[in-house]
Amino acid sequence: MLEIKIEKTQNPKPIPGPDNPLVFGTIFTDHMFEMDYTKGKGWHDPRIVPYHEISLEPSAMVFHYGQEMFEGLKAYPTEDGRILLFRPDKNIERANNSNRRLMIPEIPADIFLEALKELVKIDQAWIPDRPGTSLYIRPFVIATDPFLGVRPSDTYKFMIILSPVGPYYEEGLDPVKIWIEDSYVRAVRGGIGEAKTGGNYVASLAAQVKAHEEGYSQVLWLDGVERKYIEEVGAMNIFFKIDGTVVTPMLNGSILPGVTRDTCIQLCKSWGLPVEERKISVQELEEAARTGKLEECWGSGTAAVISPVGHLRYEDDVFQIGDGGIGPVSQKLYDTVTGIQLGKVKDEFGWTVEVK
């Protein structure tokens, strides 16, 4: 395996104190990881260096055609002073699935994991320990060839940055309101919807702004062909509990295969709850809401963790979920997922990886 060179900062920044609200994604730690790729040479020069601005030619391909991949995971502190990563192998696997779809060279899993651990270890003093906080880890790759033709780049930069964060939504664990979008679409099967890449997020902005103006925090996307079946929320996957059964849209090529989504499915099954991964139409939700069978709805994601949804709006209809508060399955998932992440609940699935 390549050896990671380490250069520590001479100018450490002040670490946010306990009064800092840690607004998601606004503060960055002292160090970052970098590694370069050159065609014919492969990935080379892995290094941890002081967090710094980067310099690229204006012609760098990432600026023009969006060839980039990103990931999101978190590091958590335990009460007995250990640091845990949650299922980093799943993020590494997904990163390389995205890379293949985006014609970005795969990153060797061993150096990827080592980079995550080493960087978190160096900046461990930045891991916040108040309830609802963690150290968000953002790995990403960008295409750097200075070239305006459309083709895969021959050079890339892989970076990892760290950000101490509080809850993703202002609402915290209070139920969010979600807008079911019926005109814009996020992705279609065969496109890049199942890859974690900026293009899917920029595609979501117009609808997100529209939803915000209407007082909704997020957009729930429908399939791009029939605009009938539920897909995902962009920053989260979505789950419903309908008449006792947990249902979530099946992975169909245009939905992001969320790590927290997989965690929810495995946990619910282990509790003996029936779980179905299948197509869910808006009409089915409408009917379930009307007959009182739409018992719970929550989103799952690394940034959002488990985020209860209090109501959904589709065209002129509002579907109220349960009694509008957090439901028992959502609460149990939140407690269990965060409990395992913080080392408070036994990790029966072997999901946590200690940073030593």
Compute the least distance from the CB of residue 57 to ligand COI, in Å: 27
Is 199 one of the binding residues for ligand COI (CB under 6 A)? no
Compute the least distance from the CB of residue 206 to ligand COI, in Å: 16
Restricted to residues 235-294, the positions that interact with ligand COI (CB under 6 A) are: 235
Q: Which of 180, 267, 297, 303 binds ligand COI (CB under 6 A)?
A: 303
Sequence-ordered list of residues with C-beta below 8 angstroms from that of 57, at least 6 positions apart, any chain? 146
Q: Which is nearer to ligand COI, 75 or 303 (CB)?
A: 303
Is 197 one of the binding residues for ligand COI (CB under 6 A)? no
- Residue 99, CB-side half-sphere exposure with 13 Å CA sphere: 21
d(CA 81, CA 8): 23
Q: Which is nearer to ligand COI, 163 or 336 (CB)?
A: 163
Is 301 one of the binding residues for ligand COI (CB under 6 A)? yes
Residues in the chain: 356
Is 198 one of the binding residues for ligand COI (CB under 6 A)? no
Is 302 one of the binding residues for ligand COI (CB under 6 A)? yes
Burial 43-54 (b: 16+ CB within 10 A, else e): beebbbeeeeee
Give the residue from 316, 19, 6 showing the smallest Cα distance to 166. 19
Q: Which is nearer to ligand COI, 242 or 303 (CB)?
A: 303
Dump the DSSP string for 216-269.
Answer: -SEEEPBPTTTS-BB---SSSEEEEEETTEEEEEPP-SSS---HHHHHHHHHHH
Tracing tokens 């809401």 back to the chain, one arrives at: 289
Restricted to residues 36-75, the positions that interact with ligand COI (CB under 6 A) are: 72
| Residues 201-240, mask of contacts with ligand COI (x by CB under 6 A) | ----------------------------------x-----
Residue nearest to ligand COI (CB): 72
Residues in contact with ligand COI by the rule CB under 6 A: 72, 235, 301-303
